[in-house]
Amino acid sequence: MGSFREQVREFVADLVPPGWRGIGGLEGDAYAEFRTRARAALAERGWVAPAWPVEYGGAGLSPAELVVLVEELSTAGIPFGSDNDAFGIGMLGNTMLRWAKPELRQRFLPRIATGEYVFAQGFSEPGAGSDLASLALRAESDGDRWRLNGQKLWSSGAHLANWMFVLARTNREAAPHKGISMLLVPLDQPGVEIRPIRNITGGTDFNEVFFTDATTDRELVVGEVDHGWAVAMTLLGFERGETALHAPIRFRAELDRLVELVRERGLDTDPDVRRRVAWCHVQVEQLRCHGVRTAAQLIAGEEPGPRAAAFKLLWSEYHRVVTELALDVLGLDALTPSGRPSPNWYHTDDPGAPNSTASWTSVYLNSRAGTIYAGSSQIQRGIVGDLLLGLPKEPKPVH
């Protein structure tokens, strides 16, 4: 393992310029250029999808090697790929390895790894957010095609994607959790309209997507027709759990940056600030322990499963509190943000980011969404109580 860690460190040394502090130290064209170059370098080694088999564009790394790669890249402040790779590789690709037919894997996975196919997620709808089983997007059989009509909402990165994995109702007579299929749908067709939504930070990272007689090939189904709920649960496990390896490293770097800010502002002797920083330290250590446990599970060949819900609940609620502390430390300066804002849709600002007011305020605003996307905190608590603690299910309201 030591030799592989050295390989990764040599890769990092060859990739980054002198004086490297992390990608957060770059702005504008330099930032975009480095991300593109880093992804290409990772893809060349198969490290953009490191655990995938080599024949699909991966590197076939063992779980232990994967842990090393994540640790080294996260510590060095190097992104793992494009923002949409979280959907195409971290969620869809890993799910396809479990559920998709071999010919579907062979067609899609290599093209996802090279970046030819860029995916977005099509799960939530105006009437189906946390209650995902109430989705209404229809996919009706039409010869050798599916014909889709309906809408998806809060689809991050859909404006950058050319494909979407979509949960659609393929059997309207079945019970809510039945009759759902996961389809792969091309977005560059006349029947698809993507409308960016401006969020609280002023960005347009997520979108609403309208399908009006849009089509996709009959065979582009992940898993079995009408049995997509189990496929979706596998994917959500990857969505909530795949961050457990690298997120604690980022949260530690962010907290260290906050401590620097506290000292710069002369608040390091304030007892209330010290108490709140200490609480954040305990939470980050808790998240680190979750990351270690996830690494052990991967090495043992286990999937994230319902424990991913506990991690997602902890990090999203923690991040809301730590960013509130950062704004309290900034005081009135937080009302007039200046400097470089965070370019990220979720989680922390990048390693090496400056302690600018714009960085902290933009991350604070994004942290509010963290308790909602990938399953709200209420949903995560339900999963933890039901599947991990064995508590009785929450009673349904009586109408």
Residue 265 clears pLDDT 70, i.e. is over it: yes
Residue 306 banded pLDDT, cuts 50, 70, 90: confident
Round to whole Å and give the CA distance between 339 and 241: 33
Compute the distance between CA of residue 42 and CA of residue 11 in angstroms, rounded to an integer: 9
Per-residue pLDDT tens over the stretch 307-360: 888 999 999 999 999 999 999 999 999 999 999 999 988 789 999 999 999 999
DSSP, res 87: I
Whole-number pLDDT of residue 346 = 79
pLDDT at residue 63, as a whole number: 87
Q: Which residue has the tokens 């997507």?
A: 209
Average pLDDT on 270-288 reads 97
Stronger pLDDT, 307 or 85, i.e. the higher one: 85
Share the mean pLDDT of the chain: 93
How confident is residue 2, by pLDDT bands cut at 50, 70 and 90? low
pLDDT given for residue 223 in this prediction: 97
- Summarize the confidence of residues 77-106 as an average pLDDT: 95
Does residue 279 have a pLDDT over 90? yes
Rounded mean pLDDT, 276-302: 89
Question: Which pLDDT value is given to residue 85?
Answer: 96
Percent of the chain with pLDDT over 70: 98
Per-residue confidence (pLDDT) for residue 200, from 0 to 100: 86
Question: How far is 76 from 288, CA to CA, in rounded Å?
Answer: 17
Average pLDDT over residues 272-285: 98
pLDDT digits 0-9 by tens, 29-46: 999 999 999 999 999 999
Confidence check: pLDDT of 296 > 90: no
Q: What is the model's pLDDT at position 375?
A: 82
- Mean pLDDT along residues 368-391: 89
pLDDT value, residue 242: 67
pLDDT band at 77 (very low <50, low <70, confident <90, very high): very high
Read off the pLDDT of residues 218-238 as tens digits, 9 standing for 90 and up.
Answer: 999 999 999 999 999 999 888
pLDDT(239) > 80: no
Quick one: average pLDDT of 186-208? Answer: 93
Contacts of 153 (CB under 8 A, 6+ apart): 124, 125, 126, 129, 208, 209
Which pLDDT value is given to residue 150?
98
Residues 195 and 159: their CA atoms lie apart, in Å, by 8
| Position 399 pLDDT exceeds 80 | no
**Which active-site residues does the annotation give?**
239
Does the structure show a pLDDT above 90 at 285? yes
Q: Please return the burial class of 338, using the count of CB atoms within 10 Å of its CB with bins 0-12, 13-18 and 19+.
A: exposed
128-186, pLDDT tens digit by residue? 887 898 999 999 999 999 999 999 999 999 999 999 999 999 999 998 889 999 999 99
Q: Is the pLDDT of residue 1 over 60?
A: no
**290, pLDDT greater than 80:** yes
